[in-house]
Amino acid sequence: MSVFGVVIAGISVGIFKRAALGVDPFQSLMSGLNAVIPISFGTLYVIVNVLLLLFSVLMDRHKIGIATVINLFFLGYIAEYSLKFFTRLVPEPGFAVRLVLLAAGVVIMCVASAFYFTADMGVSTYDAVALVWSEKQKKIPFRYCRIICDLVCVGLGVVLCLSAGFSWSQVGEAVGIGTIITAFFMGPLIEFFNIHVAKPFLEKN
């Protein structure tokens, strides 16, 4: 479940990027960082996640496991090569196709997150932030903690892209309708798939 979740999460990022209607909030932050730090996306992803890993170590080591390691070292590269694959598969997608890709990306990302959350063998370093926050203060449900974290990432992504000289149309490829949808609905959707898909699957097997 952990490996499956991380791998299809990376594929979903490639789908998001091909839809060009905005990626998920954390990837919008990564797009902003990539705009000002000109290195390979996969390498930058590893560096940022190592920094977030320090947060997890200090706050809740239980959140670190095999899924964390796989996510840390492989998700960025899976996303990078998935984007190349979908670019070859759909070289010039129309708006309707991009909407389909966006919808598929949202669902796949949420299912992936639910699977490796439920497997309880570690989560991504970014996912750990909202999980640790919701568990430590016990007043705000996870879905709202996730929404707040996502909105902060979106804001930072926009600021970084603009500071790098991107036009608003270029910013829209990284921070668009897909970003807004995931910022407000990814937390609740993950919770839904966790309860109705991932947990029943784990209990059954």
What does the H/E/C string look like for 143-179? HHHHHHHHHHHHHHHHHHHHHCCCCHHHHHHHCCHHH
Hey, how many other C-beta atoms are within 10 angstroms of the C-beta on 13? 28
Query: Alpha-carbon Rg of the chain, whole angstroms?
Result: 16
Q: Enumerate the domain spans of the chain.
A: 2-199
Whole-angstrom distance, CA of residue 92 vs CA of residue 70? 32
Predicted local confidence at residue 101, as pLDDT: 92
Sign of torsion, CA 83 88 93 96? negative
Summarize pLDDT for 21-48 with one digit per residue, the tens: 877 788 788 888 988 988 887 788 888 8
Residue carrying structure tokens 């910013």: 171
pLDDT, tens digit (0-9, with 9 covering 90-100), for 84-120:
999 999 998 899 999 999 999 989 999 998 998 888 8
CA 194-51-117 angle, 5° bins: 10
User: Rounded CA gap, 25 and 89, in Å?
Assistant: 25
Give the whole-angstrom CA distance, residue 184 versus residue 189: 10
Q: What percent of the chain has pLDDT over 90?
A: 19
Question: Average of pLDDT values for 126-136?
Answer: 82
CA 194 to chain centre: 16
Q: How many CB atoms lie within 10 A of CB 90?
A: 16
Residues 6+ apart with CB under 8 A from 31: 23, 157, 161, 174, 175
Q: 59-76 pLDDT, tens per residue? A: 777 778 888 888 878 887
pLDDT > 90? residue 129: no
